Amino acid sequence: MKVKSYKELNVWKKGIEIVEEAQKERIPKHKLQKTSVENLAKLLMKFIVVDSEETNQMILNKLPPDADRDFIEMEIMFLRTFVVDYTAYKILDNIAEKNAILDAFYSLFKDTTTDDSDIYKALKVHLLVYTDAIKKEHHMGTPYVVGKTFAKLCGYENDADVIFIGSLEFTSTFEVALENMKMIKKDLSRF
């Protein structure tokens, strides 16, 4: 299924609005209190849109000249969404609110794509592809496997630059998401 640019589908604009709203509601680390599942879901949205314009431009400049940049921007968003899901399952595994947080996150994501449900369907397919890929161990580790999968989904399976972009996106998003998920877990476990 061919999906339009996520910017055309208002995911970008609505996602930025959600992140800005969540930043206003964000509780400083030193005054962390139990927060609602919906607010946690809003905070997770930042991982798929944070600094995307600048980051995507740096990434897109490394792509082959014939690359469909809108499609690859969409795949970057799918990859970042996978990282949120992956990190939640790794860190919040035994936390009762994990499913509620992820359900609220995906509901929020789906609400940003009301213009076209194909993007949400495509996301679900790509999440499964990434999930299946990381089940296979590789001597170069999970970032490589995710980068290779990213490159394949972008149509550049053997392009070292595209594999590197996918690996870098996975690693950088994972590191930030990991820190935040640990904070969420600590917050939830206090109550």
- pLDDT, one tens digit per residue, over 30-85 is 343 446 778 888 888 877 764 556 666 777 777 778 888 778 888 988 999 999 99
Share the mean pLDDT of the chain: 77
Measured between alpha carbons, how far is 172 from 167 in angstroms, rounded to an integer?
Answer: 9
Which segments of the chain does DSSP mark as H helices, in order?
A: 11-25, 37-49, 52-60, 69-91, 98-112, 118-134, 142-154, 160-189
- pLDDT at position 145: 95
Domain boundaries, given as residue ranges, for the chain: 11-189
Under 8 Å between Cβ of 1 and 122: yes
pTM for the whole structure: 0.78
Provide the greatest CA pair distance for the chain.
52
Q: Mean pLDDT over residues 159-171, rounded?
A: 91
- pLDDT at position 147: 95
